[in-house]
Structure 1
Amino acid sequence: MDNSSPKYIHGYLEQEQERLREQALVIERPIYDYIDFSEVNELLEIGSGVGAQTEILLRRFPHLHITGVEYESRQVKKALENMSKLGYDERKVTFVQQDAKKLHLEKQYDAAFICWVLEHISDPVKVLVSMKPFLKPNAKVSITEVFNSTFYTYPVKNEVMDYWKIYNEYQVQIGGDPQVGVRLGDLLEEAGYHHIDLRSGGFHLDSRQPEEKSVVFNYWKNLMSSGAPSLLEEGLITEKQIKEMQQAMDDLREMPHAVFYYRFIQATAFA
């Protein structure tokens, strides 16, 4: 990675770029069932990455034109490839490589969308301030963010929870905030948005939802594993700890009465 780039816990390997798309599909319904862009034409997506969310937005709201802003050139390149494979061209989606804290865009948008992005940014209010001039008056803003301290399994597996603690502490160390979801209301207010509304979404899965629970345990194991290369490189974890975490997640997935619990936070506000 370019030393001038900020550290990113998930990295930019091709395997991780594909995981982002798979992850987006697994967690699509709990997020998008509460998002309505049916009256939006021009949408600004901050932190568009490889286009994982862009793909879902265009499928659910095919009338949209989306401008995706992404800091990392490797993600922009992959996003363009993904959109091309899906049959979308510049008539439907445009990607620009910019720092979201210092936006320079050519027009104003009807709405903005941010998903799993502010957790990686050291001063997220700067992003919200930076994008405001490029939103039309009363443009809708939809943000979905993590609240990682809510993650819990029954039974508790120390191999999982110890790894999760290291993972989240590293994210803080590199300037992120794995609890940023709970701050969305204050951040939006500080940035000058109004009619701010918050909701909690997520998973509470037990023996009544065996198939969904199995999928989500796999998804979460892959999410946690995506941080392993960075944690190894920093000397914060061993290969043994990674394998023990992965095995423990597999064990939980196979337990009929295991429970998976996690909450994220969604905010809707207006410019």
Structure 2
Amino acid sequence: MGTDYVHGYTPAETRRLTDQAQTLADLLHGGTSYPAGSRVLEAGCGVGAQTVQLVTRSRGIDLVSVDISEESLAEAKARVAATGAQVEWHHGDLLDLPFADASFDHVFLCFVLEHLPNPHDALVRLRRHLKPGGTITVIEGDHESAFFHPRSTAAQAVIDCLIDLQAEAGGDSLIGRRLQPLLKDAGYDDVRAWPCTVYADETLPHLVDGFTRKTFIAMVESVRDRAIAAGMRTPAEWAAGIRDLEKAAESGGTFHYTFFKAVGRT
């Protein structure tokens, strides 16, 4: 199950993922903890930014973290080693994992399904690895939930480039809005989904810096070269769009974005 990670495997992307995880830790991980001794599968751990949250918020779990990128796994191992936590690491494809059926108590995915060409198949395969009564927790974003002040068609155009490029790569950056039906259709029971909203203005400087600038604008900037090469925007149009988007992080600007979180059972 190859995936074209539209943001790229770069040091800048690693920094962005780290900033995002730290800034949104309470928002995204609030209410998610696993009992000590639970066997937990983190499917798609990336550079380990969310892995750190899992091992620090659910101490004593037996965590197995998997990713398709060996480079990302190396980053994750180094990051988690600093916490002193023990994690079992695997390089592999979510559609072909080397684990027995019904061998995990819980499965956790964060910002993974949006990059997969067939998230339904991935969810079905992962369900096989869960014990009866086990849970799956999924967190995803929805780029069309981004709105900001001051309004700007140029800024919206560069965001749309990200949405379109991710779709061309086989992903879906709007997947957050459909987590509930996705999990239900994949055979999970008792599926619940809810929004996790970020709002930032000058009275919330940690969110302006950590989310508006270092997470969202940095994410849009990551596809600059692709967008220009594809003829979606000229270099001048791209620069104008980013300048306008940055106004949302300045005095008098505001920014809003919604993530979605869903939990289901086997």
> 1:161: how far off?
0.5
Q: 1:98 aligns to what? A: 92
> 1:212: how far off?
2.8
Query: Does the 8 A contact of 1:218 with 1:249 survive in 2?
Result: no
1:28 aligns with 2:25: yes
Distance, in Å, in 1 between the alignment partners of 2:3 and 2:206 is: 38
**What code does the residue aligned with 1:51 have?**
G
Query: Does the 8 A contact of 2:114 with 2:140 survive in 1?
Result: yes
2:7 aligns with one of 1, 4, 10: 10
Q: 1:140 aligns to what? A: 135
RMSD over aligned CA atoms reads 2.0
**What code does the residue aligned with 2:136 have?**
V
**What code does the residue aligned with 1:9 have?**
V
> 1:17: how far off?
1.9
Query: Does the 8 A contact of 2:212 with 2:255 survive in 1?
Result: yes
> 1:246: how far off?
3.0
1:43 aligns with 2:43: no
Query: Does the 8 A contact of 1:11 with 1:230 survive in 2?
Result: no
TM-score in terms of structure 2 length: 0.91
Distance, in Å, in 2 between the alignment partners of 1:198 and 1:244 is: 37
**What code does the residue aligned with 2:96 have?**
K
Mean CA deviation greater in 227-236 or 70-79:
227-236
- Could you give the per-residue CA deviations for residues 208-249 of structure 1, whole angstroms, max 9, x where no partner exists? 534433432212211211222433444433333343233223
Query: Does the 8 A contact of 2:145 with 2:256 survive in 1?
Result: yes
Count residues with an aligned counterpart.
264
Q: What's the % identity of the aligned pairs?
A: 24
Q: 1:262 aligns to what? A: 257
Distance, in Å, in 2 between the alignment partners of 1:186 and 1:153 is: 28
Distance 1:241 1:29, change over 3 A: farther
Distance, in Å, in 2 between the alignment partners of 1:164 and 1:181 is: 16
Q: 1:162 aligns to what? A: 157
1:84 aligns with one of 81, 84, 108: 81
1:120-131 aligned within 5 A: 120-131=115-126
Distance, in Å, in 1 between the alignment partners of 2:184 and 2:203 is: 40
Query: Does the 8 A contact of 1:217 with 1:249 survive in 2?
Result: no
Gaps of 5+ in 2: none
1:245 aligns with 2:245: no
Q: 1:194 aligns to what? A: 189
Distance 1:35 1:213, change over 3 A: same
